[in-house]
Structure 1
């Protein structure tokens, strides 16, 4: 406990799943936590769940004016940002023949464009030695069917993280990628059209994992905390896989 005492952490997309679990863990470790979300009821519920004086700021990272408003609110704290978990993002299944302009633009607009400007606009507020954590995915290298556009955004994020780690090294700012495998989140279940098919999807994903199960959001959050804390002070430009061995071990 206390790994982030006295620090300020910002989690975008912090109302559910890994983002919410990480925000709760940051708060438990002593950080002042800011979270963002697009929907106010879910954001209010997340703030209450996180506790410890968490602050919710409603907005969409794909809207640059929302990002400006976000950082203006954080700046009022006066302490800068020590941990930025640019977690907001998402995706949907779509095979090559089904991809539309809307699907492409929306997925890249949030996962790549939104993330890039989330980090860029944070630069004036990032403290010396801050940790920036961006969300990758095992899909980036697996070639999973019907996930081509989403996977391409995650490959782009990996590339950006390498460049940013190099560009920000002079300020001691570390940039790393958290790479979850199949994590049991509402977002993953939402990829299926109904509860029954969601269960089938989870069973299939668990069967592909060497450890024989899906991961929990708490397990993913523990890895995010490692990258956020001084425990990873000599780690930058790296990918930390939390995938139960999915992309590491053949079964």
Structure 2
């Protein structure tokens, strides 16, 4: 496991992860990394790798979701209470907690404005190899989920891996991961918390062919199992579209 984690780190830092997985899904990660509109995310991607770009995307989506939730709740308070009401002013500052439990009994908390940026950064930090490994596995699972990768495409992927500057052992481990990607339930069961769930979903979106109907079904099932609110899902897609 440690060797595979080292592999993720080397792929991430070298930019190979961005080129390899982004290329599989039509350049999602590559465009994210080189975006002019998303300069902050782009700079992080170029400096730290594709996984850092995913972390930045997830954080910006959560910020957008939080701001929209606070604005909507403030508007609701103003409709329910007179503008001069102290009770209304106080209520406008609070945002309703968002706890959801999936079919397996897993609970995720996506309460707006509660998670700091650091929580997202830690998921893709070099010291958190398990977080990096999980995102890479999420990308691979998504890239294969839509059934768009046929045998010819699979061979192209393997050929691209052969051309990477990796050791024989590292290539073998990556081939094994590619031959047997995680199932959706296996993926969800390895997600430890809400912020990681947001990044897993964001990583999956960047590595999947969004033009395929099967992709939509996969992402809907993933969001459902991770209990991600519809508004937050929309924010993730919005962030990716505007990079």
Higher helix share: 2
Q: Tell me the TM-score normalised to structure 1 length.
A: 0.24
Higher strand share: 1
* Larger Rg, first or second structure (1 or 2): 2
